Structure 1
Amino acid sequence: MKQSFVSRIALFIVTNLAVVAMLAIVGRLLGVDSMLARQGGGLNLTALLIMSAVMGFGGSIISLLLSKTMAKWSTGAKVIDTPRTESELWLVETVRRLARDAGIGMPEVAVYDSPDMNAFATGARRDSALVAVSTGLLHGMRRDEVEAVLGHEVAHVANGDMVTLTLLQGVLNTFVIFISRVVGFVVDKFLNRSEDGEESSGTGPAYFITSLVMQLVLGIGASLIVAWFSRRREFRADDGGASLVDAGAMARALDRLRRQHDSDALLPANMKAFGIRGGGVAALFSTHPPLEQRIQRLVDGSWRGGARLGVSHAS
């Protein structure tokens, strides 16, 4: 599959925003927003905050629970139930060993057809995750390098990155919804003030349009925070991969990805933040740090201060 350079947002975030938007529309149609306006013309901020939290965390939690299913669907990844080749057997056994060393349950192991060298991990629980690799990675890297990439993905699971991302996205969603509706309420009352000074309910057409625009603008700002967190978690996953396997192999694997930067066949855009590699011209929205920076940390040994996994064995 070819990646669209326009889309930089991971499947988790896309699904999350879609659910939040759907909940907002349903709430509008059911008159929930109007119910938040008190008879005195004010706004029930407590009720609004509760509603915002339900909608905000609801979108994040639903997208987290759907993450494995959507990942398999979007990439066409096939789970290896029974290894049919020596390569598949090696892949499953390597993930099993790395998962044991990282202290997590055995993830599902899958392969998806793509010439790009990439991999990703996702799932709602540390003991029931999914680790998938591309055919391009299996064929284009040495086994010690593939093992390092698998260590990186297992580290994502062991660090609980998906759950942490869910909580972060839920908090951001809550404030985006809350602030956008407060601003919409104020704008609507200001624009619809009658000549005799009587104020509107604050939930008219101006409220709907303003809150929608503000939700879009604030949502972009929230995406910047999510991308910043994603870049930090990539460093932690590199540290974990280096601890579980070998820093040199991890650095060599990243260098192969760096040299493949001009490839046209990349991980689908909606799974990009879950993968091993990143990139993109919009650095602030990038879910991954520059590969050169990641490699340098591994080469000069500065990654050791950031390793967080309690590894019982490293091969």
Structure 2
Amino acid sequence: MFKRIGLLILANLAVFIMLSILLTVVQMVFGVNFGTMAGSNLNLGTLFVFSMVVGFSGSLISLAMSKTMAKMSMGLQMIDTDRPANDLERYLVDVVRYQSQKAGIPMPEVGIYDGEPNAFATGATRSSSLVAVSTGLLQIMNRDEVEAVIAHEISHVRNGDMVTMTLLQGVMNTFVVFFSRIIGWVVDRQILRNENEGPGIGYYITSIVLDIALGFLASMVVAAFSRYREYHADAGAAGIMGSSRPMIDALRRLGGVEPNELQGSVKGFGISGGFGSLFASHPSIDDRIKALEEKRY
């Protein structure tokens, strides 16, 4: 149950920075303008359109790749939901099917992976989602707790959190590109006094450095929003289960173990989270338990 900013944030950050640097290098080496610079003047309207294209490309690409990357990076053993191979698989399929019907979403794919106690949900849309649990989580939790964890992941899918996070990341990426180019232009023209028709080295270096630096700052904002969404997923789990007690018990159980971090792109929709840093995708377990207890589901 820990992590909600991995692939979606780390994969997005990687794709976004790589794309930004690539386009900046292409502009510098080949003199391609992309319409963002007009001689010694900066075209803000065109720059903003360019920033949106670059910004949302990174987040949309990471969203489209999320399920495939999760399967590859986590070594998922996918369950045939029509023909489960054993009692455990049949149990997980039945739980996911019942909860997804109760939540009013299509049946997600179901997977198991080897690892310490954790679980996650991913997928570009509600109709192409995936829910996976670890063998470690299945070993330490009773059935009510396992079902509460799965309900938490189903809530992420029902709430459309993957798409919401993608849109937020796209907006943040857009402003990163926009302001890094404006600052780069100021450094190039006003500080380094470049008087050539095209942008100088100050513009390129400043833009690349700020893409990276501001990209990490933007990730902090997305992480903060992710922590906020965790409370809603916990509340959704309580609603699906008919009581907050199983979710509280599952969180307390996790509070006594040391869960491994999920890989990049699936981090964002795991059941476990970080421990209070600015990049943590989840609130603390104590805060989550308190929120559930105060709402008295």
Same fold (TM over 0.5): yes
**Would the aligned equivalents of 1:61 and 1:166 in 2 still touch at CA under 8 Å?**
yes
Asked if 1:10 corresponds to 2:9, the answer is no
2: CA distance between counterparts of 1:16 and 1:212?
A: 16
**Deviation readout 1:192-246 (Å, 9 max, x if unpaired):** 427xxxx234621111111112222211221111011000110000000000013
1: CA distance between counterparts of 2:9 and 2:53?
A: 17
2:74 partner amino acid:
T
2:273 aligned residue: 278
1:155 aligned residue: 155
Match of 1:66, SS? helix
**Deviation readout 1:244-303 (Å, 9 max, x if unpaired):** 01310110000000011xx2x513342332210112352x2211001011112222335x
**Deviation readout 1:123-164 (Å, 9 max, x if unpaired):** 001121000000011121001110000000000000000000
2: CA distance between counterparts of 1:189 and 1:214?
A: 17
Match of 1:104, SS? coil
Q: Return the match for 2:248 from 241, 247, 251.
A: 251
Task: State the Cα distance separating 1:8 from its structure 2 match.
Answer: 9.4
Q: How does 1:285-304 map to 2 (within 5 A)?
A: 285-301=279-295
2:57 aligned residue: 58
**Would the aligned equivalents of 2:17 and 2:215 in 1 still touch at CA under 8 Å?**
no
2: CA distance between counterparts of 1:121 and 1:110?
A: 10
Task: State the Cα distance separating 1:37 from its structure 2 match.
Answer: 1.9
**Would the aligned equivalents of 1:12 and 1:63 in 2 still touch at CA under 8 Å?**
yes
Asked if 1:215 corresponds to 2:214, the answer is no
Q: How does 1:154-193 map to 2 (within 5 A)?
A: 154-193=154-193
**Deviation readout 1:55-114 (Å, 9 max, x if unpaired):** 100111110010000111111111101311111101001000100000100000000011
TM-score with structure 2 setting the length: 0.91
**Would the aligned equivalents of 1:137 and 1:146 in 2 still touch at CA under 8 Å?**
yes
Report the identity percentage: 51
**Would the aligned equivalents of 1:188 and 1:200 in 2 still touch at CA under 8 Å?**
no
TM-score with structure 1 setting the length: 0.86
Q: 1:220 to 1:18 in 2, by over 3 A?
A: closer
1:280 partner amino acid:
F
Stretch moving more, 73-82 or 11-20: 11-20
2:108 aligned residue: 107
2:160 partner amino acid:
G
Where structure 2 has 5 or more consecutive residues not aligned to the other structure, the ranges are none
CA RMSD between the two structures: 2.0
Match of 1:121, SS? strand
**Would the aligned equivalents of 1:148 and 1:249 in 2 still touch at CA under 8 Å?**
yes
Q: How does 1:300-315 map to 2 (within 5 A)?
A: 300-301=294-295
Match of 1:23, SS? helix
Where structure 1 has 5 or more consecutive residues not aligned to the other structure, the ranges are 305-315
**Would the aligned equivalents of 1:99 and 1:105 in 2 still touch at CA under 8 Å?**
yes
Match of 1:109, SS? strand
1:109 partner amino acid:
V
Match of 2:126, SS? coil
**Would the aligned equivalents of 1:192 and 1:200 in 2 still touch at CA under 8 Å?**
no
**Would the aligned equivalents of 1:102 and 1:154 in 2 still touch at CA under 8 Å?**
yes
Match of 2:120, SS? strand
**Would the aligned equivalents of 1:188 and 1:202 in 2 still touch at CA under 8 Å?**
no
